[in-house]
Amino acid sequence: MNDTTFVACAQLEPVLGDEAGNVARTCRALHSAADLGAQIVVLPELASSGYAFTDRDEARRSAQPADGICVTAWAAVADSRGLVVVGGFCESDGTDAIYNSAVLIEGSEIRAVYRKAHLWDRERLIFDAGQEEPPVVDTHLGRIGVVICYDLEFPEWVRIPALAGAQLLAAPSNWPEAPRPAGERPGEVLRAQAGAGVNRMYIAVCDRVGTERGVDWVGGSVIIDPDGWCIAGGQPSTESGIVLAECDLSLAADKAVGGLSDIHADRRPGLYAPVTHES
């Protein structure tokens, strides 16, 4: 393949409130992924801080600006190893607000900061919700969109970067453990597969592992191809490690799904429900 790109998810275990340690953990994981040949590396949601904050004040103490120690360290590794990095961090922008954010870094440059728009469970008590669409960034490796975890459960949100031409949607996540029938993939994986398939784009979800204040995660990091099949990962795990796949991102330019059918051109946007503005 002419257009082979190695995409990795660096599944790991952040430690709540240990910002310095999390810089070290995540940078080691970026190097490990680069050692395996990864060119695009996705880190989990809130990789700078851990997840299970008791309240807003505790989250604020872990929050950093986009040019804080964590993102700056990621950019240094990205620059030295020639990586594109997408990772989640706990963001303060200098106001009273706190965001569950993700950054897209290309070499030394912060190309985009995204703030999670769909806040899961108690996150709404801790973070401010993002008010902007998922970014889509033209990198030297391809066109990459960014969302975070629960955002993936809203097909309207996945559609936005897809229609903007994203070839790969990178989703830093902390998928909470939930019941499932024996032998089934996690439901979050199935729904990410559907999001990839109905948009014919790659999706890379980086999940976390470890237990934090009684919360467990799926550890189901996965890379999904434009047909919607898992090409790496996608099974629950309690282990840190690199999930790596060889991707031909150019495939995502072709939305044909059989004969005369085109999964984007066949949409009927004139018939879809009118947007209702939130109160």
Is 156 near its own copies (CB under 8 A)? yes
One character per residue 48-87, x = contact with its own copies (rule: CB under 8 A): ----------------------------------------
Q: x/- contact string, 117-146, with its own copies (CB under 8 A)?
A: xxxxxx-xx---x-xxx-------------
Tokens 């490690």 belong to: 241
Of 27, 160, 251, 253, the one binding its own copies by CB under 8 A? 160
Distance of closest approach, residue 159 Cβ to its own copies, in angstroms:
7
**Minimum distance from residue 55 beta carbon to its own copies (Å):** 14
Q: Which stretch binds its own copies (CB under 8 A): 10-18, 78-86, 111-119, 202-210?
A: 111-119
CA atoms within 13 A on the CB side of 93: 12
Contact present, 236 and 208 (Cβ < 8 Å): no
Active-site entry in 116, 123, 188, 230: 116
H, E, C per residue of 120-137? CCCHHHHCCCCCCCCCEE
102: which strand partners?
88, 114
Asked about 149 being catalytic, the answer comes back as: yes
Is residue 193 a contact residue for its own copies (CB under 8 A)?
Answer: yes
Distance CA 171, CA 42 (A): 7
DSSP 273: P
Contact of 270 with 256, CB cutoff 8 Å? no
Closest CA to 233 of 201, 200, 198, 209: 209
Closest distance to its own copies from the beta carbon of 28 (Å): 32
Interstrand relation of 256-258 and 261-262 (parallel, antiparallel or unpaired): antiparallel
Q: Which residues make up the interface to its own copies (CB under 8 A)?
A: 117-122, 124-125, 129, 131-133, 150, 153-157, 159-160, 163, 176, 178, 180-181, 184, 187, 190-191, 193-195, 197-198, 227-229, 257-261, 263, 266-278
- Active site members: 45, 116, 149
